[in-house]
A and B are shown apart, each in its own frame.
Chain A
Amino acid sequence: MEQYLTSHFGDTIWVHILMGVPPLVFILLYALVVIYLEMKMAAHMQDRLAYMRTGWHGLLQPIADMLKLLQKEDTIPAAADKFLFLLAPYVVFIGTYAAFAALPFGSAYIGSGINVGVFYILAISSLVVVGLLMAGWASNNKWSLFGALRSAAQIVSYEIPSALAILAVVMMAGTMNLQELSAMQTGGIGHWMILGGSLPLAKKLIAVPLMLILFLIYYVSSMAEVNRTPFDIPEAESELVQGYNTEYSGMKFAIFYLAEYANLFAVSAIVTVLFFGGWASPFASLMTGPWWSAFWFVTKGMFFVSLNIWLRWTLPRFRVDQLMYMSWKVLTPFALACVVGLGLLLVW
């Protein structure tokens, strides 16, 4: 797509701006879908119907919700640090949106083909923590502060196992560019990283269990990084009222939510690319091509989003110390062991 645009506009700033549009459009549309999906999935798990009145089976409800949030009064607490308070939701959103630049939305589109893709995503999504800390501090509310500190501790801790899991896959693939990583996994389900990628059969037998563990480690830590149940302690509504976004209302609140859902897709997409072939079709050469690849990418991503929603409405919440225990004493050692194991396998 970049080549196509460059051929029309030349190498100007417009190319880069246009390249940035698809993820934004995607995030907005996806937010509408995922809000509906989450509410409906939760409701059906809980023996109820969720919204049924706005449109067929409540299909228009997310739009109505959005309009409601737009009209809401945007209150700023009197004692808040006004500048930081206003800035925080955008920092959070930017951190998330920037991560979309390195996600390959199909064989023909990637926002930026930088060769340190995953590394960039890891780095830029840490910006979210800064935003959350700003929100919690600026609100001048003790509960918000608690939420912000908890989320900072949580996200920083869980970045370590998730980075190790990513490192293992990068070792296998020899590239950090997610587009190349996806292209590597084309040619059917057997080439997916979770099934040992393109290793010879004998090595695959050892690699598959390691990859499964790494997948679990990454998936669990990604849930923690996006603050979803069972790791939603930063906004644990029964403990901290609403955590860092207690004092937010109207569109600023909506932007926090948008960022959370966008982040959810981002980590699901990374899971997809790292372990499940990215945009590669599961049926070898069947259903390939730019449009199909986009289809596979979004479908796989949404599968992991749904899995996350399913878990969210099933499990209770961890306590702060249990959360830290899980990260430092369970996930990190296992991830390290897997990295070492995989490394030995690769040099053998």
Chain B
Amino acid sequence: MTDTLTAAPKTSTGKSLRTEEMIINMGPQHPSTHGVLRLEIVVDGEIVVDVVPHIGYLHRCFEKHCEHMTNYQQVIPYVDRMDYVCAMNNEFAYVVAAERLLKIQVPERVEFIRVIMAELQRIASHLIAVGTYGIDIGAFTPFLYCFRDREKILDLFEMTCGARLLYNYMWIGGLSHDLPPDFVPRAKEFCAYFKPKIKEFNDLLTYNEIFVKRTAMTGVLPADVGLNYACSGPMLRASGVNWDLRRDDPYSVYHKFDWEVAVGKGEMGPVGSCWDRHIVRMKEMEQSVRILEQALSQIPEGDVQSAIPKRIRPNPGEVYARTESPRGELGFYIVSDGTATPYRIKARGPGFVNLSVISEIAKGAMIADLVAIVGSIDIVLGEVDR
């Protein structure tokens, strides 16, 4: 991201009246940049003429840290901290990549538990996304409903591995703990509880007239632009591209379940608008509940720690594995030189890639729309900056 705005601001000159455009920094300390994102915006009155996102305020050298671990397993807590809103999904992506590098197969029960955790985490992450999106548009109440429901998911996680945000739960070759005995009934209880809540939320926010007016015509991302920018996840699906790695590049046991990919249809305006991205997340939560219900009833018995050596030394080689995180394609590229320390780990963060499209879709919008667009991308700066 180059500093294109350091030059003098463009001015639109009339015959006698000269109005100047104004440069404003939105962030890094701003209520609706979802962390420490800085948007350098050029505004003409309320109209946004140009946007340049500046990132890096939360850079923690994730990739460099990985090269100094003494063990592949030690990377997992760092992966957690990458995208702290969906730590389980990050672990999932990393262990899938590491296991492909090691060419090992984990027991079926482990795969089921991983899918259950990943889908619970997806719901939790989407709840934050849609809840904070409500705040961005000015509705405060839905946010707290989301946190009420997310709390129940975090309780399930706490019950399983003791942690509520950063779990270190999925290990290469297995899991840190087996499920506690009453996990399955309580998770089923949650599914039954949560389904009507989605409808309640839709009634309160999604189909609210003001909310629709604010979001349905703004931030339209055409499918080809989305593909050119390598967007993924709800961002791309909302533009009408039917692409979900859980189905199109199968990993784990997702192929065993019956579910649908939610795609934006442009019910309220052009396809790919902010509203479409919102509704795709709402529908994905429904589908996650569907996967959860099936996984919870089919979960096999077995061991959760397959026998792998304590010190993993993969053969020299490289692997790229990608998974569908709540924000899109989360991939890990791992290079091994045969020692116990990873030679290189590169993370492909969906938020980073999705954010890059902002200057394309936010031009000509109003400041309020810019907030709506940033919110609809659903970035987590921990993962954008890593």
Contact = CB atoms under 8 A, between A and B. Distances in A.
Interface of A: 42, 45-48, 142-143, 146, 229-230, 232-233, 236-241, 313-322
Interface stretch (B92-100, B203-211, B376-384): B203-211
B312 interface: no
A47 B144 contact: yes
Given A142-B24, A238-B31, A46 B367 contact: no
Given A238-B371, A316-B134, A143 B24 contact: yes
- Central interface residue in A240, A313, A321, by most chain B CB within 10 Å: A240
A319 B368 contact: yes
Given A46-B145, A229-B138, A314-B139, A239 B214 contact: no
Given A316-B211, A316-B214, A232 B141 contact: no
Contact of B136 (A143, A238, A241, A320): A238
A318 B145 CA distance: 22
28 contacts: A42-B141, A46-B141, A46-B145, A47-B144, A47-B148, A48-B144, A143-B24, A146-B46, A146-B367, A229-B138, A238-B32, A238-B371, A239-B368, A314-B204, A315-B139, A316-B138, A316-B139, A316-B205, A316-B211, A316-B214, A317-B137, A317-B210, A317-B368, A320-B46, A320-B368, A321-B366, A322-B213, A322-B214
B30 A313 contact: no
Chain B contact residues, majority secondary structure: helix
Contacts of B46: 146, 320-321
Nearest to A315: B210
Nearest to B208: A316
Contacts of B145: 46-47
A46 B210 contact: no
Contacts of B148: 47
Interface in B118-136: 134-136
B31 to A, nearest CB: 5
Contacts, number: 77
A224 to B, nearest CB: 13
Report the contact-size class of chain B (Cβ under 8 Å from the partner).
20 to 34
Contact of B144 (A46, A233, A315): A46
- Central interface residue in A46, A48, A146, A319, by most chain B CB within 10 Å: A319
Contact of A319 (B140, B205, B369): B369
Interface string B307-335: 00000000000000000000000000000
Q: Which 7 A-B pairs have the closest CB atoms?
A: A317-B138, A316-B139, A46-B144, A238-B32, A316-B137, A316-B138, A319-B368
Given A237-B31, A239-B368, A318-B213, 18 more contacts: A42-B140, A42-B141, A46-B145, A47-B148, A146-B367, A230-B210, A238-B31, A239-B371, A314-B139, A314-B204, A315-B210, A316-B205, A316-B211, A317-B138, A317-B368, A319-B213, A319-B369, A321-B46
Contacts of B205: 316
A45 B141 CA distance: 7
Interface string B27-55: 00011100000000000001000000000
Given A46-B144, A238-B32, A233 B134 contact: no
B232 to A, nearest CB: 26
Nearest to B46: A320
B159 interface: no
B365 to A, nearest CB: 10
Contacts of B204: 314
- Central interface residue in B22, B136, B214, B368, by most chain A CB within 10 Å: B368
- Central interface residue in A142, A230, A313, A317, by most chain B CB within 10 Å: A317
A322 to B, nearest CB: 6
A143 B210 CA distance: 24
A161 to B, nearest CB: 18
Contacts of B213: 318-319, 322
A45 B145 CA distance: 10
Nearest to A319: B368
A298 B300 CA distance: 66
A186 to B, nearest CB: 39
A233 B139 contact: no
B157 to A, nearest CB: 21
B141 A314 contact: yes
Contacts of A238: 31-32, 135-138, 371
B138 A230 contact: yes
A315 B208 contact: yes
Contact of B138 (A47, A143, A232, A241): A232
